[in-house]
Chain A
Amino acid sequence: IQLLESGGGLVQPGGSLRLSCAASGFTFSSYAMTWVRQAPGKGLQWVSAISGSGSTTYYTDSVKGRFTISRDNSKNTVYLQMDSLRVEDTATYFCAKDVRSLPKDWFDPWGQGTLVTVSS
């Protein structure tokens, strides 16, 4: 199983960025996918999750209305559209595979992460 994130970079406050996570090695549509972030030198924070079918999405309160998670099961890819970015969104963003089709469990494995820096 491999998860490969991309799309990170430097963006100004108020800007937008779209992260991608390309998956391989498993039946992608059968598993929920999750984004977890880690601010520099800090701990892990769950950000968003999407069910295997894509019909159900979940967000932590601090990103509701600004971030949108989606997936394309034909491309084995999950996305995180991040709008109205804030300085406090600066972090490494990891995508992680859930162990079932609904996002209620632990994460295994994780991608290597992509760094998002929000700064003027």
Chain B
Amino acid sequence: DIVLTQSPGTLSLSPGERATLSCRASQSVSSSYLAWYQQKPGQAPRLLIHGVSSRATGIPDRFSGSGSGTDFTLTISRLEPEDFAVYYCQHYGSSRTFGQGTKVEIK
């Protein structure tokens, strides 16, 4: 199975700043099978991005995904107070695995 490694583990930023989260795969991810989720404390994960860069319904355009092969990025252009949360990347296709998560906290 593909192993996904997210970095950094924690990102300390202020509202209005840009957040760049990384997700690296142990082998090439085929057919853009990469998704991102946001999880707030005590809540279920929420789909943000699928197919590397396609925003889910209702997701603001300050969230964007990019990358190919083994290196992927989730960018939040300007952090809003509600964006402070944990973010997970997920590979799908023949198998489905998650990264260990990146926590975006208020600096």
In the complex, the answer to whether A94 meets B97 with C-beta atoms within 8 Å is no
Partner of A43, one of B46, B50, B93, B98: B98
Is A26 in the interface zone, CB < 8 Å from B?
Answer: no
B residues engaging A (CB < 8 A)? 35, 37, 39, 43-47, 50, 56, 88, 90, 92-94, 96-101
Q: Give chain A residues whose Cβ lies under 8 Å from the Cβ of B100.
A: 43
In the complex, the answer to whether B47 meets A106 with C-beta atoms within 8 Å is yes
**SS class of chain A's interface: helix, strand, loop or mixed?**
strand
In the complex, the answer to whether A109 meets B47 with C-beta atoms within 8 Å is yes
Is A52 in the interface zone, CB < 8 Å from B?
Answer: no
Q: Give chain B residues whose Cβ lies under 8 Å from the Cβ of A113.
A: 44
Q: How large is the interface on A (under 10, 10 to 19, 20 to 34, 35 or more residues)?
A: 10 to 19
Is A44 in the interface zone, CB < 8 Å from B?
Answer: yes
Q: If A43-B98, A44-B45, A94-B45 touch, does A108 touch B56 (CB 8 Å cutoff)?
A: yes
Is A111 in the interface zone, CB < 8 Å from B?
Answer: yes
In the complex, the answer to whether A106 meets B90 with C-beta atoms within 8 Å is yes
How distant is the Cα of A111 from the Cα of B46 in the complex, in angstroms? Answer: 10
In the complex, the answer to whether B50 meets A94 with C-beta atoms within 8 Å is no
A residues engaging B (CB < 8 A)? 34, 36, 43-46, 49, 94, 103-113
In the complex, the answer to whether A106 meets B50 with C-beta atoms within 8 Å is yes
Q: Give chain A residues whose Cβ lies under 8 Å from the Cβ of B44.
A: 94, 109-113
Residue of B nearest to A103 (CB): B96
How distant is the Cα of A74 from the Cα of B26 in the complex, in angstroms? Answer: 41
Q: Give chain A residues whose Cβ lies under 8 Å from the Cβ of B97.
A: 46
Residue of B nearest to A111 (CB): B44
Q: Give chain B residues whose Cβ lies under 8 Å from the Cβ of A45.
A: 98
- What would 19 A/B residue contacts be, using CB atoms closer than 8 Å? A36-B45, A43-B88, A43-B98, A44-B37, A44-B90, A46-B97, A46-B98, A49-B96, A104-B93, A104-B94, A104-B96, A106-B35, A106-B90, A108-B47, A108-B56, A109-B46, A109-B47, A110-B45, A110-B46
